[in-house]
Amino acid sequence: MQNWQPSNPVERRFMDAHTDWTRFAKDRAARLLIWQTDETDARLVQLYFQVQEETSCAVRTMRASFVSEARYARALMDELVAFYESRRETSNAQGMRADWQAPRRDGADSAHSAHSAHSADSVLDLLTLADSLMRHHPDIFPALVFVLEPTQVRDEAAWSRWLDGLLSAVAASPQLGERMRFVVPCTHAAPFDSLRQRHPDAVHLVQGRYSMASVPRELLAESGERGPNGEFRRLFVMLTETIESGSPARLEALRGAALRVAQREQWFDQCVVVHLIAGAAYLKWRDRERAIEAYRSAAESGRRAVDAGQAAGHKLVANGLFGEASVHLTHRAFAQAAYCYERAAASTAAAQDALMTVEAWRMGAVCWEKAGEREHALEAGFNALDAGLLIDESMRAQSNLRLVVEWLVKQIGAFDSRRGELSEKVAALRGGR
C-alpha cells in the first residue's frame, strides 16, 4: 500500500486503519493487538480484515465461541483445520500441493480429555498446529494473524484469563509464537487493563477514531450528484441519521419525502431500504406497532420489486420478514415470529440463497420450540437441513448448519422415532467430504 493514495472518504479512513495496524506490526515485541473502536467504526475494522483475508490466507478471522478456557484453543484448532480442508480440493486442482496434515495432538484422545481442564496444554497445541502449517507452506503462510472474534463469550473474565495464558505460552515458547500475531477487536478496552499491565510489551492498544458516521455526508458532498439520484441520496443520508435522534416526526417526514422520489422513479428496491431504516428506528425506540408497520411495508415493496422483475426482489421481501420477526421476538411473540421466518424461508429459497434459507428455518425452529409447538419446531429444523444440501460443500462449514444439527440432537433422543431420519440427513450433508 506504499504507493496507493486514498481518493474518497472511505479509502481515507481505510488508510488510517492501515496506519494503526502498521504501528502494531512494526512493534517486534507486540503479539496481541487490542483494537478498540465505537460500534460504528467497528465496521471499518471488520472491512480492513475482510480485505486482508481476501488477499492472503495468512490472515484468519476466527469466530469459534468462547465457551470455556479449556475448550477455546481446541475450537480454534478445529476452525483452522476446517479452513484448510475447505481449500484443499481447489488448491490441488490449481496445481498447489495441499498435502499438510495436522500434527497428532499430544497424547491419545482419552488422555487429552483427562487433561482438558489444563488450557495451557491446549494453547501449546494451538501454537504447535499453527507453526506446523507455516513450516509446511512457508510461501502461503509466512506468518499467521488470528483475528479473534468469538460469536459468543460466556465469561469475560475467563476470556481475559485465556488471553493471558496465550501470551504466557508465547513468551515461554518464542520459537513457536515468533511469527504469529493476535487481534481482539472490541468496543470496550477496560476488561483488558490487567492484561496490559501483566504483559506491557506484548499487548498493543489502538483506540481507533475513524468517524465512519460522517462518511455518507462526505461522499454525498464530494459526488456533487444532482437530479432524482442526488435528491434521494441526500434524503437517505438524513434518514439514517434520525435513528440516533429519537424523533418520530422527523423520521416520518424524511421517510415520506424519500418514498415519493423512489416511487416516482419506480425504485422499489430503494423503497424497501427506506422502510427497513424506519423499522430499525422504531425497533430501537421500542415502538412495536410502528416497527411492524414499517417492516410489513418493506416486504410489500419487495413484492412490487418481484413483480417488476428486479433481481433482488425475493431477498428484499425476506429482509422485511426478518425485520418483522425481530420485532415479535423482542416482545416474546414466538409463534408470530416463527410464521415470519417460515415465509422468509420461502422468499430466500426463491432467491436461491440457501445460506439464508437455512437461517430462516433455523430461527423458525427455535421460535416454534419457545412457543411450545414441538412438532412444528422439528419440521422446521429438518427443513433447514434439507436447505443445507443446496449449499456448496465447501461453504457448509461457514453456515449455521452445525447449530441446526446441535439443536436437533438436543430435541431428538437416541430412541426417538425420528433419530434415524436425523442421522440420514446429517450423513447426506457430510457426503463427499
Task: Tell me the percentage of the chain whose pLDDT exceeds 70.
Answer: 93
Whether the per-residue pLDDT at 175 is higher than 50: the answer is yes
Whether the per-residue pLDDT at 44 is higher than 70: the answer is yes
pLDDT band at 109 (very low <50, low <70, confident <90, very high): very low
d(CA 149, CA 60): 10
Whether the per-residue pLDDT at 54 is higher than 60: the answer is yes
Do 295 and 276 touch, CB atoms closer than 8 A?
yes
Whether the per-residue pLDDT at 3 is higher than 80: the answer is no
pTM more than 0.95: no
Task: Tell me the percentage of the chain whose pLDDT exceeds 90.
Answer: 68
- The burial of 261, by beta-carbon neighbours within 10 Å (0-12 exposed, 13-18 middle, 19 or more buried), is given as buried
Written as one letter, the residue type at 17 is A
Residue with cell 484469563: 161
Under DSSP, the state recorded for 414 is T
d(CA 179, CA 127): 10
Do 406 and 400 touch, CB atoms closer than 8 A?
no
DSSP H/E element including 383: helix 374-388
Whether the per-residue pLDDT at 112 is higher than 70: the answer is no
pLDDT of residue 115: 39
pLDDT of residue 256: 96
d(CA 241, CA 180): 40
pLDDT of residue 392: 86
d(CA 135, CA 178): 13
pLDDT of residue 430: 82
